[in-house]
Amino acid sequence: MIQIIPAIDILEGKCVRLEQGDYRMKKVYNADPLEVAIRFQDIGITRLHMVDLDGARSSHVINWGVLEKLSSRTSLKIDYGGGIKTEGDLRIIFDSGASMATIGSIAITDKELFHSWMFTYGPEKIILGADVRDQMIAISGWQKVTDIEIVPFLSEYKENGVKYVLCTDISRDGMLLGASFDLYKMIREHFPVLHILASGGIASVADIEKLDRMGVYGAIIGKAYYEGRISLNDLKIFTHK
């Protein structure tokens, strides 16, 4: 069964959502991320995806204090992404209670460092972030689109032991247009053993169910929940199947 992984995006310490990664298009949903996290935990959710938007923009981890608060006051298994550029950043988030780290830009800009982290921490601790626009990899908080295509990119890292991939279709993120089913279908066909976490555009329970039927490992739920398209009761169904 597909894993439901709510996203908490942190900007200036608050729970927000952006549209297509545009910092000018932000909406604050809750000033207290812990309150949001506890709601998820109370219905049986066990995992959380936390995004440090300040960190992604600044290229170093900033909101580790929020992570520490959530990890110490809930039992959620938190994966943390945004601004992880150095060994020091990685140590900070693991010391602050993160169970996993989502690494995107470094996998492009410093492959040797990424591979060293995989070797040191293992594939159960490192999630490869693959953010795409028109099947091309984007980095630096989605502010730069590279000339690297998604399939060759994943192929290289699969051969080097990556197990988890968080793939976000930037064009759909925060737009509530539905998940990028063709993209995930293609990735599943090429890499059936990879654990794919689908992110971007999920707008309804039907989207989650379709991803589940496709064999996608996890669904990152964001704006659809915050805008009331998907309720806590809807998500609770997936935690009790």
The angle, 0 to 180 degrees and rounded to 10, between the axes of the packed helices 181-190 and 150-159 is: 40
Query: What CATH number is given to the structural domain containing 131?
Result: 3.20.20.70
How many percent of the chain have pLDDT more than 70?
Answer: 98
Q: pLDDT by residue (tens digit) across 26-53? A: 899 999 999 999 999 999 999 999 999 9
pLDDT computed for residue 142 by the predictor: 65
Following DSSP, what letter does each residue of the chain receive, concatenated? -PEEEEEEEEETTEEEEEETTEEEEEEEEES-HHHHHHHHHHTT--EEEEEEHHHHHHTS--THHHHHHHHHHS--EEEEESS--SHHHHHHHHHTT-SEEEE-THHHH-HHHHHHHHHHH-TTTEEEEEEEETTEEEETTTTEEEEEEHHHHHHHHHHTT--EEEEEEGGGTTT-S---HHHHHHHHHH-TTSEEEEES---SHHHHHHHHHHT-SEEEE-HHHHTTSS-HHHHHHHH--
Mean pLDDT within 88-106 = 96
Mean pLDDT within 99-108 = 94
Would you say residue 192 has pLDDT above 70?
yes
pLDDT computed for residue 9 by the predictor: 95
Of the listed ranges 86-90, 100-104, 237-241, the least confidently predicted one is 237-241
Q: Alpha-carbon distance 221 to 89, whole Å?
A: 25
Q: pLDDT by residue (tens digit) across 156-166? A: 999 999 999 99
Q: Which residue has the tokens 């739920």?
A: 221
Instruction: Count CB atoms within 10 A of the CB of residue 215.
Output: 12
Would you say residue 143 has pLDDT above 70?
no
Tokens of 150: 């998604």
- Are 72 and 96 within 8 A, CB to CB? no
Would you say residue 25 has pLDDT above 90?
no
Nearest residue to 66 (alpha-carbon basis) of 83, 52, 79: 52
Q: Can you list the pairs that 26-30 forms with residues at least 24 positions away whose Cβ atoms lie under 8 Å?
A: 27/226, 29/226
Would you say residue 55 has pLDDT above 80?
yes
Would you say residue 74 has pLDDT above 90?
yes
Q: Which residues are catalytic?
A: 9, 131
Tally of domains in the chain: 1
Q: Alpha-carbon distance 166 to 213, whole Å?
A: 18
Q: Please, is 168 exposed, middle or buried when counting C-beta atoms within 10 Å of its C-beta (0-12, 13-18, 19+)?
A: buried
Query: Could you tell me the residue range of the domain that residue 113 belongs to?
Result: 3-239
Mean pLDDT within 49-76 = 96
Would you say residue 12 has pLDDT above 70?
yes
